Amino acid sequence: MTGRISEETKLRDEIAAVGKSIFDRALTFGSTGNISARLSNGELLMTPTNASLGDLDPARLSRFTAEGVHVDGDKPTKEAFLHQCMYCRGKMRGAVVHLHSTYAVAVSLLEDIDPADVLPPLTAYYVMRVGTLPLVPYFPPGDVALAEAVAERAEASHAVLLANHGPVVAGKTLREAQYATEELEETAKLFLMLDGRRIRPLTASQRQDLLDRSS
């Protein structure tokens, strides 16, 4: 019992630290975005509704059973199902970060992106940390149909981009999910900066080699 409490306390503090780091660097704003992480017993800790990631109280995080039932903490975000979809599609996933980050959202608004894989392989770290980024069609926040659309794409990719909304990224650990989300945002920024110019992305063989190395 003591071990579980210690694990939970540490994870609560880490969620608050990651949230503040993300907020302080303007990757999120106001009360947008949410973070979750999974305990070894399958329970989830998640940032609650109307909470700023820059000012989280670790003791007030929403806690869910392994079956997805809210059991204590503040009222959960209406986007909790986005996190649960990502966990259900990957047994090794231990954390999820969802942001409304500016450059990723901007890319999600473009008409001519590939819905199967939104961003080209511009850098090695993007390929290794994100891999592929399918686009999920627009649904209003909280719409159950959004959960089904996310689940469909999350089986083959640990990161998805919600149209007109933002990225949802899973990782084995919270730091892994954080770093992948940040890599995605920086790559989206690069992509927009290079708009209209001829680019030289990684080749298919270079991309595959990186995926093989990181698998």
Residue boundaries of the structural domains of the chain: 2-214
Class assignment of domain 2-214?
Answer: alpha beta
- Active-site annotation holds for 183: no
Model pLDDT, residue 141: 82
Q: Average pLDDT by consecutive 10-residue portion of the chain (215 residues)? A: 76 98 96 96 96 98 96 95 91 95 98 96 97 96 89 94 97 98 98 92 94 82
Q: Evaluate whether 163 touches 145 at the Cβ level (below 8 Å).
A: no
Proportion of the chain above pLDDT 70, given as a percent: 98
**What is the pLDDT at residue 2?**
54
pLDDT for res 4? 58
Up-side HSE of residue 97: CA atoms within 13 Å toward CB?
Answer: 31
Would you say 155 and 137 are in contact if contact means Cβ atoms under 8 Å apart? no
Annotated catalytic residue 185:
no
Summary mean pLDDT of the chain? 94
Of the candidates 14, 43, 79, 186, the residue annotated as catalytic is 79
Which helix (DSSP H) or strand (DSSP E) does residue 91 occupy?
none
- Is 52 exposed, middle or buried (CB count within 10 Å of its CB: 0-12, 13-18, 19+)? middle
The tokens of 35 are what? 């973070």
| pTM of the complete model | 0.94
Name the DSSP class of 76: B
Question: Maximum Cα–Cα distance for the chain, whole Å?
Answer: 58
Are residues 163 and 135 in contact, defined by beta-carbon separation less than 8 angstroms? yes
pLDDT at residue number 212:
87
Q: Which of 125, 138, 152, 179 is catalytic?
A: 125
| CA–CA separation, 99 and 104 (whole Å) | 9
Cα separation, 36 vs 68, in Å, equals: 12
Please say whether the beta carbons of 35 and 96 come within 8 A.
yes
| CA–CA distance, 68 with 175 (Å, rounded to integer) | 22
pLDDT of 51-75, one tens digit each? 999 999 999 999 999 999 999 999 9
Pairing mode of beta strands 159-162, 135-136: parallel
Residue 19: what pLDDT?
Answer: 98
Which letter, b or e, does each residue of 21-45 get, where b requires 16 or more Cβ atoms within 10 Å of its Cβ?
ebbeeebbeebebbbbbbbeeebbb
